[in-house]
């Protein structure tokens, strides 16, 4: 298996009081870890077992018969990015290159936060909110259920889990309060800046570009 088990980049209580220890314990152990275990059970002994996580997601997304596996794998990837999008004593206005791109794209950080909150509120049911890099600009994007921008060629700069399990213990049904806490006390703009910087490096190196899923892949991997 080429996929590492999920790991938290901080202790469960480190995000308090903005996000409680109980929320992180349940979220990590009862949601992400369950997706990882089910994904592992489905790929064990097959050709898919050799794929890294991002490749497994791209390949299974193309194959309707593999969509249950795709959803588990995407949820593992999405949560990995979500944990790293937060840090203890985070939050506040974006700085560095990401801050400059936010001002260019949205006019000001305040306008960005307004659109970020509005997009989160408009997402019906479970899903994810993303800040992505697309066509040389930042975009706010919402996806439903386990859907991930990874398969659309966007580069995810930040992830925010909009499933109720991410905020119900702390905020009950008040999604807006959870999104505000993320922006004001949790978001890690240093991580966003590192992701953007790495993207600039990798886009100059053809060997590091994303490999396209081929028809051969689809045919080979759909047979188990
Ligand atoms: Fe989640």
Q: What is the CA radius of gyration of the chain?
A: 18
Q: Say if residue 100 is in the same domain as residue 188.
A: yes
Q: Say if residue 101 is in the same domain as residue 198.
A: yes
State mean pLDDT over 118-124.
97
State mean pLDDT over 8-12.
96
What is the domain count for the chain?
2
> pTM for this one?
0.90
Q: Is the pLDDT of residue 137 over 90?
A: yes
State mean pLDDT over 151-161.
94
Predicted confidence (pLDDT) per residue in 26-37, tens digit? 999 999 999 999
Q: Tell me, what's the pLDDT at 203? A: 60
Q: Is the pLDDT of residue 205 over 70?
A: no
Of 36-45, 114-123, 188-197, 201-210, the poorest mean pLDDT is in 201-210
Ligand 1 centroid vs 204 CA: distance in angstroms? 33
Q: Say if residue 100 is in the same domain as residue 181.
A: yes
Ligand 1 centroid vs 185 CA: distance in angstroms? 19
Q: Where among 31, 54, 86 does a domain terminate?
A: 86
Ligand 1 centroid vs 199 CA: distance in angstroms? 25
Dihedral (Cα; 23, 120, 138, 188), 10-degree rounding: -20
Nearest in space to 35 (alpha carbons), one of 15, 21, 12, 56: 56
CATH number, domain containing residue 188: 3.55.40.20
Ligand 1 centroid vs 151 CA: distance in angstroms? 19
Q: What is the DSSP letter of 160?
A: E
Predicted confidence (pLDDT) per residue in 36-85, tens digit? 999 999 999 999 999 999 999 999 999 999 999 999 999 999 999 999 99
Query: What span, in angstroms and rounded, lies between the C-alpha atoms of 11 and 161?
Result: 19
State the residue range of the domain holding 100: 96-205
């Amino acid at each position: 298996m080429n996929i590492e088990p999920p790991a938290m980049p901080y202790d469960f209580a480190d995000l308090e009081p903005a996000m409680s220890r109980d929320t992180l314990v349940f979220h990590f152990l009862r949601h992400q870890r369950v997706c990882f275990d089910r994904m592992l059970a489905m790929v064990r002994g097959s050709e898919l077992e050799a794929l890294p996580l991002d490749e497994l997601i791209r390949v299974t997304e193309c194959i309707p018969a593999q969509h249950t596996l795709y959803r588990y794998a995407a949820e593992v990837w999405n949560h990995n990015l979500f944990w790293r999008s937060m840090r203890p004593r985070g939050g506040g206005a974006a700085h560095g290159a990401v801050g400059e791109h936010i001002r260019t794209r949205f006019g000001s950080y305040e306008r960005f936060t307004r659109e970020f909150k509005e997009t989160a509120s408009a997402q019906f049911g479970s899903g994810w909110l993303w800040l992505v890099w697309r066509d040389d600009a930042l975009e706010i994007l919402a996806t439903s259920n386990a859907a991930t921008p990874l398969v659309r060629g966007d580069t995810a700069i930040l992830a925010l889990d909009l499933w109720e399990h991410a905020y119900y213990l702390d905020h009950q049904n008040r999604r807006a309060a959870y999104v505000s806490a993320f922006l004001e006390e949790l978001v890690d703009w240093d991580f966003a800046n590192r992701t953007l910087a790495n993207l600039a490096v990798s886009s100059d190196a053809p060997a590091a570009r994303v490999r396209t899923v081929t028809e051969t892949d689809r045919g080979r991997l759909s047979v188990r």
